[in-house]
């Protein structure tokens, strides 16, 4: 038995999208509810002469909306068990009032048909009622306009309830995922074990040891299948900071809007989508909601990947009354989603028998164990690492939700390795407070042939910062003549003078200097530049190897202490002639000084323009 094609399809969709549906997805719709009409309309003689003398049932209107069916009789006797005939008076009535009365009676007939279980007939009657009110010309009569709109609402809401009562999927067990094998699943098994994704799968499988035990425990507590703990393997490869082109982030790959929907907050300091425990709670809530909606775990996984609305539309396009199996949808889903479910099932096959697929040589990484410490002030993770001796990388991993490696301003529950809480609590007062770095911005007029990469190299900035400062999207070429805001890398402050001791003697401490790694940098040339050694830089920054990345901030170790010999003579300024292509920032950097110093010496501002030959 198939749904009757509605004549008012486009109009119905517009109404239902605007109004939504109060039915809880996945649960059988409740029986029809009864609505009493507006009592104010009972005394209106104009409506009294044509209104049918029968009681109309309709779904309850949500709180805060317009009064239901204004102008209808207040107290109508209940309908008989037989099929209600349209009132003779209403049949004979002319114009809008008669049409609306007929539509009301059709709604009543639809109600009785629904109660009998004749859903197709109920849909057909509501179809006729909707077509009838579309032809009503209400003119400027506000009462008729209100009644027409209320009828449109009632009919649309009732159709939604009938559709929901038919269910879009059969009920499934919350603790059962059918692990089938078919050519689609076998193809993904081959890709993961012997194909181009073999290395990805092996590394993701190794990382799973860090997070899967806690995820399984949370799933058990929620009454969901523990096999879902393998879902992050195909979502993110078990990387807490995995970011997709669609801006989905974290183990469970929440986009920002879905993250907010499941209480995963984000601000300048924190993005809870990267917190494994918080994101897992959000994913459990989302998966439970999808299972209530679809009932079949394979379909739930498809909806998790491409969204419940896309899957719902695909289901409704089928010539079936309900969905028995995900594979009924397979050919109609987007390619990525169609592969998603076979990839998950392939994962379950592989991890269920790792020795069969050559994974028995992989040692899973140990579970991340931690305890928490209340930190009342704003500090950087690397500062805590330096003071306590805890590995900075491990601190970042345990507190992955910290976007910039900086604790929020109003206190934070810091995760530290198991057994280190007391040491961190004792040392936290010695940790320097975080001081936001001052961002300098200079204007640049784009010239022909320039790119974000060339501008980033020229100014010692980076492409991401330039994009963000100018709201640039996509890889489009820069337009010559456009003025861009270029954020500059922080310059280290000038060292203090040597007159620290009253007698002109005593050690002079070098201030903490930070170096931001640029293209072409290596630990060796950085050490040469700062008159130190590779080993000292590694020790200062707790680096285990020599690998560094663009944009990484390295703290330079202090140079060997010198004995102060009294105030040094003030150096004479150097005169420099501006060359084509020079910038103020570039000149300052080449002369080992800050931009502020250069501007002050030459009475310039950051927006000042310089010309070739200028001194």
How many residues are there in the chain? 615
**Three-class SS of 527-561:** HHHCCCCHHHHHHHHCCCCCCCCCCCEEEECCCCC
| Nearest residue to 107 via CA among 136, 74, 79 | 79
How far does Cα 250 stand from its chain's mean position? Answer: 9
Cα(303)–Cα(297) distance, integer angstroms: 10
Secondary structure of residue 211 in the 3-state scheme: helix
* Residue in 150, 174, 162 with CA at minimum distance from that of residue 225: 174
β-sheet bridge partners, residue 415: 372
192 C-beta neighbours (distance < 10 Å), count = 25
| HSE value, Cβ hemisphere, 13 Å, CA-based, for 468 | 8
Which of 129, 101, 105, 130 is closest to 10 using CA atoms?
130
Helix axes 297-306, 308-316, angle to 10 degrees: 120
> Is 217 in a helix, a strand, or coil?
helix
Using only the alpha carbons of the chain, give its radius of gyration. Answer: 35
Specify whether 197 is catalytic: no
The catalytically annotated residue of 235, 289, 308, 401 is: 235
Are 518 and 553 within 8 A, CB to CB? no
- β 553-556/513-516 pair status: antiparallel
Q: What is the distance between the alpha carbons of residues 125 and 139, in angstroms, rounded to a whole number?
A: 26
CA–CA distance, 155 with 134 (Å, rounded to integer): 12
In angstroms, the CA 329 to CA 307 distance is: 14
Query: Are 77 and 55 a contacting pair, CB within 8 Å?
Result: yes
What b-and-e string marks burial along 10-48, b requiring 16 or more CB atoms within 10 Å of the CB? eebeebeeebebebebbeebeebeebebbeebbebeebe
Q: Where would I find the H helices in 450-594?
A: 452-459, 463-470, 523-529, 534-541, 584-590
Cα 35 to Cα 69: distance, rounded to the nearest angstrom: 9
Task: Give which of 486, 471, 483 is closest to 447, Cα–Cα.
Answer: 483
Distance (Å, whole) CA 592 – CA 578: 16
Catalytic positions are: 235
């Amino acid at each position: 038995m198939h749904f009757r094609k509605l004549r008012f399809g486009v109009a119905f969709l517009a109404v239902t999208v605007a109004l939504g549906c109060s039915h809880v997805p996945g649960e059988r719709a409740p029986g029809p509810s009864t609505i009493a009409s507006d009592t104010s309309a009972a005394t209106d003689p104009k409506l009294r002469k044509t209104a049918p003398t029968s009681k109309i049932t309709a779904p309850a209107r949500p709180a805060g909306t317009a009064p239901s069916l204004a102008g209808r009789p207040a107290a109508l006797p209940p309908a008989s068990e037989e099929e209600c005939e349209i009132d003779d008076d209403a049949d004979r009535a002319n114009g809008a009032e008669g049409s609306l009365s007929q539509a009301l009676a059709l709604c009543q007939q639809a109600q009785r048909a629904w109660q009998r279980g004749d859903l197709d007939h109920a849909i057909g009657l509501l179809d006729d009622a909707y077509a009838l009110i579309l032809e009503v010309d209400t003119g400027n009569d506000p009462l008729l306009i209100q009644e027409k709109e209320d009828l449109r609402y009632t009919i649309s809401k009732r159709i939604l309830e009938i559709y929901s009562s038919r269910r879009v999927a059969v009920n499934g067990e919350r603790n059962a995922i059918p692990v089938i094998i078919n050519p689609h699943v076998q193809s993904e098994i081959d890709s993961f074990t012997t194909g181009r994704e073999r290395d990805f799968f092996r590394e993701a499988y190794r990382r799973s040891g860090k997070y899967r035990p806690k995820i399984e425990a949370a799933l058990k507590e929620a009454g969901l299948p523990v096999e879902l703990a393998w879902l992050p393997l195909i979502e993110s490869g078990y990387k807490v900071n995995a970011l997709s082109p669609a801006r989905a982030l974290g183990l469970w790959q929440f986009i920002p809007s879905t993250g907010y929907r499941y209480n995963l907050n984000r601000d300048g300091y924190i993005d809870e989508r990267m917190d494994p425990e918080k994101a897992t709670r959000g994913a459990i809530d989302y998966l439970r909601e999808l299972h209530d909606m679809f009932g079949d775990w394979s379909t739930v996984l498809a909806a998790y990947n491409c969204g419940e609305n896309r899957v719902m539309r695909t289901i409704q396009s089928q010539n079936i009354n309900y969905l028995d199996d995900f594979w009924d949808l397979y050919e109609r889903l987007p390619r990525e989603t169609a592969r998603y479910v076979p990839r998950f099932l392939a994962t379950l096959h592989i991890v269920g028998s790792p020795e069969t697929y050559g994974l028995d040589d992989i040692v899973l990484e140990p579970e991340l164990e931690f305890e928490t410490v209340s930190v009342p002030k704003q500090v950087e993770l690397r500062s805590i690492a330096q003071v306590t001796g805890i590995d900075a990388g491990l601190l970042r991993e345990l507190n992955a939700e910290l976007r910039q490696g900086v604790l929020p301003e109003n206190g934070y529950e810091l995760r530290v390795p198991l057994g280190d809480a007391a040491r961190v609590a004792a040392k936290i007062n010695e940790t320097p407070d975080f001081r936001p770095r001052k961002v300098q911005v200079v204007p640049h007029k784009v010239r022909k042939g320039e790119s974000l990469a060339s501008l980033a190299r020229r100014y010692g900035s980076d492409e991401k910062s330039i994009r963000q400062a100018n709201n640039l999207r996509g890889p489009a070429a820069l337009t010559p003549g456009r003025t861009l805001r270029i954020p500059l890398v922080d310059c280290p402050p000038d060292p203090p003078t040597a007159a620290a001791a009253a007698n002109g003697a005593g050690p002079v401490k070098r201030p903490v200097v930070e170096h931001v790694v640029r293209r072409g940098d290596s630990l060796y040339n950085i050490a040469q530049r700062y008159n130190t050694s590779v080993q000292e830089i590694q020790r200062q920054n707790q680096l285990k190897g020599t690998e560094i990345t663009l944009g990484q901030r390295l703290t330079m170790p202090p140079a060997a202490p010198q004995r102060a010999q009294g105030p040094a003579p003030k150096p004479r300024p150097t005169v420099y002639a501006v060359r084509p292509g020079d910038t103020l920032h570039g000149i300052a950097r080449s002369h080992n000084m800050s931009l502020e110093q250069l501007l002050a010496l030459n009475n310039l501002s950051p927006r000042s323009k310089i010309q070739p030959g200028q001194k």
